[in-house]
Amino acid sequence: MRSVLSVLLCVVVGSGCSDSLIGGNVAGKWAMLDQVPGNGASMNLVQNGATVTGDGTWCGELMGCGTTTISGTASGRKVHLDIIFDSGAREHFDGELTMFHSLEGSIFFDSPGGPPQPSFAVRFERF
């Protein structure tokens, strides 16, 4: 009886529960939060086992908008995504599914031939 109540409490409360209750699946539509006005990014992800693929869109205040192609992996709550922009620029996201609707981590730009870029914290929300 006690274990049944524990599971029910986790389902009702929804935080601090195991990966199995969170789902560990990143499939769906995601939007980047905490953006500077005029900037934005969203992605549509599909997960098949540990493989993640998808596409997305981005907008930069002074750079216009464009599309992305996404590939990566997900294991439990851990997620790694390689994001290729239509301009050829690349980003790498490393993070985790913190709740069913929240993906948090850091992104760094991979600009071959350019100076190293620092990573920055980012949060996506499923919509």
* pLDDT of 28 above 80: yes
pLDDT of residue 73: 97
As to burial, measured by CB atoms within 10 angstroms (0-12 exposed, 13-18 middle, 19+ buried), residue 104 is: middle
Q: Describe the chain by its helix, strand, coil percentages, rounded to 5.
A: 15, 55, 30
CA dist 18 and 11 (Å) reads 10
Q: Is residue 3 part of a domain?
A: no
More confident residue, 3 or 102: 102
Token couple for 42: 């969203």
CA dist 48 and 43 (Å) reads 16
**Count of structural domains, the chain:** 1
CA dist 55 and 64 (Å) reads 18
Residue 44's domain is classified under what CATH number? 2.40.128.30
User: Any idea which residue has 């493989």 for tokens?
Assistant: 51
pLDDT tens for 36-57 read 788 889 999 999 999 999 999 9
pLDDT tens for 82-123 read 999 998 889 999 999 998 899 999 999 987 777 878 999 999
More confident residue, 9 or 76: 76
CA dist 28 and 36 (Å) reads 24
CA dist 56 and 54 (Å) reads 7
Q: Is residue 35 part of a domain?
A: yes
Q: Residue 96's domain spans which residues?
A: 19-126
* pLDDT of 3 above 90: no
Q: Is residue 68 part of a domain?
A: yes
pLDDT of residue 68: 98
More confident residue, 6 or 1: 1
pLDDT of residue 34: 72
Provide the 10 A C-beta neighbour count for residue 45.
23
pLDDT of residue 23: 56
SS3 8: helix
Q: pTM, whole model, 2 decimals?
A: 0.78
Q: Is residue 13 part of a domain?
A: no
